[in-house]
Amino acid sequence: MVPAMGLFPHQKLDWNLARLDQHLADEPANPRAQLERATALWSRARFHGGGAADHEAALAGATRVIDQQPTHATALSIAAASQVALTRLDAAHALLQRAVAAEPERAEVQYALAEWHRAGLAHGAVHADAPSAVQAADAARRAAPDAWEPHALLAALLWEQVQRSGGPSGAPRALQRSMYHAVCALERQPPGGQQAALALHLGIACLHTGRLSESNKLLSRLLEDDAHRAAAQYHLGLVNARMGKYKNAILYLRQHLEHGENAAKTHARLGMAYLALGEVAKARESCNRALLEDPADLQARWALGRAQAEEGSEDDALRTFKDILADAPGHTAAFAELVSLRSARGEDGWLQAALRAEVSVFDRLPVQRAGQGAPRRATRERILALIGALTEARGTDTVPTLLEVFDLTTDESLRFQLWEAALDATARERRERVAEDLADAGRIYSAAAGREVLALARALPEELLVAGLQIGEEDLRRAAVDRHGPARDVGAHREAIDHERREARAWQALLLLALGSHDTRTSRNLLVRWAAEADSDLSDAARGALAMLGDPGAASLLRKRARARGAQNLVDAMIAQVQAPAAHTPVRAAADGDDHTCVTCSRRSAEVALMLVGGDHALCDHCTAEIAGERAARLHASQDSVCRLSGRGAFETAEMYSLRGITVCREVVDLGLGLLEREAVARYLAGQ
């Protein structure tokens, strides 16, 4: 543990203030004592339950010091921070400008500046902004690396950034950093009350990142803390609901209600827990109580709609979800329920019209809109819900509708999803008939039928493909008569049987290739047996299927046989198209003692905090941060791009970046960002 140390005084504040009062009674003009007293008063007000009177007194004391020493940065900072707490932001800003001019790198100056930006955001100050708040708090952290307060402030500021971004999914990196700085503050052993507040913050963050057991442990310890018991009970209710322990969730949420806080939200969460337990009447009652407290509560309205649907009141449920969407068009959960209800009622026309409407506006929506989250992402989620419902409906118009809306967007990603959905819907429509045919393979086999089976291979059960391989002589003789009619002589009959044998072998070869799309032990064993025991043509088909599954021996032997016939180029082209791609190069953090050189800036391992290594190349944390800070400017659009570390191609990553001529994929950058932070959080949580 790092020894307890703070940027401001925290221990024995009342005793120290009494001592300073006595000292100033004897020596009223002593600036050092005045500043020490002002700082202690500010600390008591900011961290230990003091009030406006302490801030006023701190301001008065710091002002006396400034009167004597106009450029005293610490006095200016304490005065400014007191003015911030008293919401006198213009006066605080003037003081901070003087402090920054005097000593810009001083920790107290940057801390007060971060507080000003934070308060300014809440009160609409002209020059206040969130990035500047985080930047100032980070500067204070660097200036006072052993102090817990800058870390705690950073954790709070980053969490506020998460909330402004619409939740953890909107700012995952900010949430990650917030957790790290909360851990750093806790490791510096802040005073008890602040420690509990940070533990609460970390417990809530763990809930949002899926660390449910760690969240449960951290929050449970706060049940004995008077100041944080209510918040702990509420979030323990959420944790237990996420863990599927709905009765425990109800217990904690009902305990939280006794504090008279968050009544609407708590009743809404209770409604969802009751709904999960199948207690629909209690769920509806809880939702109605929530709506009495807050008629606009979306969570309560959504849970009420679910309860109405469970009770069979479909019209009421539809009205509820439509009302939610009228007030909150981006509420994708309500839209999904609306789609589910429409689909259950067989309203395919509504689903098709809704899909056309959503796709037609997609290109015109911004990726991100201030205060409204990500409209394009929300629309894509609605489109996927509609596609899923239409595909499940199996209506005759599903595929034409999907192909029709394909031309309503120019977004390649969405077009691909629509095209893929159309193919899946087509396969779904055809696979049932093909599955029936496979069960009677001796009657329907042919090269053409085999090509259809191969096209639908992934959608067909492996056992049907295996059964379809069994074509016997009796099947050939029957097909020779059924398909060619009575033969005029024995020669014609034998010719018809030979033709059917060729059709049957083509059918079997195509079914063997179809088995190459089922990577199971039984399919591999069967293919190995056919490759070893069948005649040369069918064994080659089995080797082709094994090559599709990534078997290098089968691919090598196939090439060798093709080379003898002058057709190796055809085999190479086939394998390039169908063989499973080589695994990506694993990317990891360099181990202690390893010596690597960054491929972009030539820094060595000893010069950086983190070096990512993939194959023979390395990327340092400085370059990772540089790419992350300029993602848009660093985008590399070439389709031939390959990540230097991971080996991913342009079609295997969401984004590819270029830095000093080196291409790096998004996955590597995201891995490098905060890797050390994630490890620090994991270590701390493991020790709790």
CATH number at residue 302: 1.25.40.10
Phi, psi of 312 (to 5 degrees): 90, 5
Residue pair 665/648 in contact by the 8 Å Cβ criterion: yes
Query: At 218, which amino acid appears?
Result: L
Same-domain check for residues 524 and 412: no
* The last residue of a domain, from among 157, 190, 223: 190
Same-domain check for residues 413 and 434: no
Using CA atoms, how far apart are residues 280 and 171, in angstroms rounded to an integer? 35
Using CA atoms, how far apart are residues 511 and 433, in angstroms rounded to an integer? 16
Confirm whether 281 is domain-assigned: yes
| 687 burial level (CB within 10 Å; 0-12, 13-18, 19+) | exposed
Same-domain check for residues 539 and 678: no
Using CA atoms, how far apart are residues 302 and 139, in angstroms rounded to an integer? 43
Helix (H, G, I), strand (E, B) or coil at 618: strand
Query: At 247, which amino acid appears?
Result: K
Using CA atoms, how far apart are residues 204 and 575, in angstroms rounded to an integer? 50
Using CA atoms, how far apart are residues 45 and 554, in angstroms rounded to an integer? 76
- Nearest 10 degrees: CA dihedral of 423, 426, 428, 432? -140
Same-domain check for residues 48 and 157: yes
Same-domain check for residues 160 and 24: yes
| H helical segments located in 439-567 | 441-444, 447-455, 462-468, 473-484, 490-515, 521-533, 536-548, 552-564
Burial 628-651 (b: 16+ CB within 10 A, else e): beeeeebebeeeebbbbbbbbbbe
Position 142 scores a pLDDT of 92
H or E stretch at 118: helix 107-123
Mean pLDDT by runs of 10 across the 688 residues of the chain is 70 93 91 95 94 95 95 96 96 96 96 96 89 94 94 96 84 91 94 93 96 96 95 97 97 95 93 95 95 93 94 94 92 93 92 94 74 72 92 77 90 88 83 85 92 88 92 92 87 91 94 90 92 90 88 86 84 70 76 90 92 92 88 83 89 88 92 87 91
Same-domain check for residues 274 and 145: no
Residue range of the domain that includes 464 = 430-578
Considering just the CA atoms, what is the radius of gyration of the chain in Å? 34
Same-domain check for residues 167 and 306: no
The tally of domains found in the chain comes to 4
Same-domain check for residues 405 and 472: no
Position 583 scores a pLDDT of 57
The Cβ of residue 57 has, within 10 Å, a number of other Cβ atoms equal to 20
What the block records as the tokens of 530 is 């056919």
Residue pair 439/432 in contact by the 8 Å Cβ criterion: no
* The last residue of a domain, from among 398, 429, 460: 429
What the block records as the tokens of 503 is 């059709």
The Cβ of residue 25 has, within 10 Å, a number of other Cβ atoms equal to 8
Confirm whether 94 is domain-assigned: yes
pTM, full prediction: 0.77
Confirm whether 90 is domain-assigned: yes
Confirm whether 240 is domain-assigned: no
Closest CA to 47 of 151, 158, 194, 185: 194
For the chain, what's the residue count?
688
Strand order in the sheet with 617-620: 587-589, 611-614, 617-620
| H helical segments located in 124-187 | 130-143, 149-164, 172-187
Confirm whether 405 is domain-assigned: yes
Using CA atoms, how far apart are residues 127 and 111, in angstroms rounded to an integer? 17
> For 77, how many CA atoms within 13 A lie in the half-sphere containing its CB?
27
Residue pair 230/256 in contact by the 8 Å Cβ criterion: yes
What the block records as the tokens of 189 is 């052993």
Q: DSSP letter at 167?
A: S
Confirm whether 411 is domain-assigned: yes
Residue pair 664/164 in contact by the 8 Å Cβ criterion: no
DSSP line for 531-551: HHHS-HHHHHHHHHHHHHTT-
Using CA atoms, how far apart are residues 94 and 677, in angstroms rounded to an integer? 36
Residue 307 vs residues 25, 314, 330: alpha-carbon distances, Å: 69, 10, 21
Confirm whether 243 is domain-assigned: no
Using CA atoms, how far apart are residues 119 and 89, in angstroms rounded to an integer? 8
What pairs with residue 588 in β-bridges? 613
* The last residue of a domain, from among 138, 156, 190: 190
Confirm whether 554 is domain-assigned: yes
Same-domain check for residues 425 and 435: no
Position 367 scores a pLDDT of 65
Using CA atoms, how far apart are residues 198 and 688, in angstroms rounded to an integer? 14
What the block records as the tokens of 291 is 């709506």
Same-domain check for residues 460 and 395: no
Same-domain check for residues 306 and 334: yes
Same-domain check for residues 293 and 347: yes
Closest CA to 181 of 212, 148, 204: 148
What pairs with residue 662 in β-bridges? 659
